[in-house]
Every structure is written in C-alpha cells, then in structure tokens.
Amino acid sequence: MRRAKSARITAIMRGILPLSRRAAGLQNDGENKIVPWPLEKIVVPTLIISAADDLSKTLPGARFTAAHVPGARLKVFETGGHLMVSRGDEVRRTIDEFLRRPPGPADGRTA
C-alpha cells in the first residue's frame, strides 16, 4: 500500500514539474480575484469532491458551490488531502456511482 501511494505521489510530482512552466498559472491562482459566479444557473448534474484535511483549504469553497448549484452533490472525505492520496478507489467509486445514476429533477434537467 505504501509503495503504491509513494508511486502515485511520485507520478503526480513528475507530471507537474518543472514548476517554472506553471508560473503564470500559479500567479493567477494566487491573485484571489473574487467575483460572483452565477452558480445557480448551472443546469447539469454536478458532483463536488473535497477533503477536510486539504491544506489548500478547498472545502469551504466546495461547500459554498454545492449549496448554490441546484441539485449538486458534495462528497467530503475526512482525509486524503488535496491530491486525495489513498482515496483513489473511493473517489473513482463515487464518480462512477454519480455517473450511473439516472437523471432527475434535482439535476436541473427536464425530461
């Protein structure tokens, strides 16, 4: 289990390095331009996944988004961090279940 976890983290790191290629994007992410988004207009099935121990503090935004997107489903893992380390199977299962469910009124779609 530890080897698989370590291999996954290594693969992720290799995929994002060198960070110099991402400097403009990282700078943009750090500017925190907060503007209202019309989340209530989203009419497609929406699944939001976050982790309580994400050091990037994405959970408050995930909760806010889920509360404002009609019919959105929020799945919060207590652990896993920003990369959902050790949660891969559960995340895939959550996504699979979400994609397999039949569309309904809560999805914001009409038949």
Domain-located, residue 14 = no
Domain-located, residue 13 = no
Domain-located, residue 79 = yes
Residue 36, preceding bond cis, omega within 30 degrees? Answer: no
Helix (H) / strand (E) containing 48? strand 47-51
Domain-located, residue 60 = yes
pLDDT at 78 over 60: yes
- Which pLDDT score, from 0 to 100, does residue 104 have? 63
pLDDT at 14 over 50: yes
CA 8 to each of CA 13, 68, 74, 104: distance values in angstroms, whole numbers, following the listed order: 9, 33, 25, 36
Give residue-wise pLDDT tens across range 26-60. 787 777 666 788 999 999 999 999 999 999 899 99
Tally of domains within the chain: 1
Helix (H) / strand (E) containing 9? helix 2-16
Domain-located, residue 65 = yes
Domain-located, residue 22 = no
Judge whether 75 and 38 are in contact, CB under 8 Å.
no
Reported pTM: 0.69
**If DSSP codes are grouped into helix, strand and coil, which group holds residue 85?**
coil
Classify the C-alpha dihedral 79-82-86-91 as positive or negative.
positive
Domain-located, residue 21 = no
Domain of residue 54: give its range. Answer: 34-107
- Mean per-residue pLDDT of the chain: 85
Give residue-wise pLDDT tens across range 93-103. 999 999 998 76
Give residue-wise pLDDT tens across range 59-68. 999 999 999 9
Domain-located, residue 48 = yes
- Which pLDDT score, from 0 to 100, does residue 109 have? 38
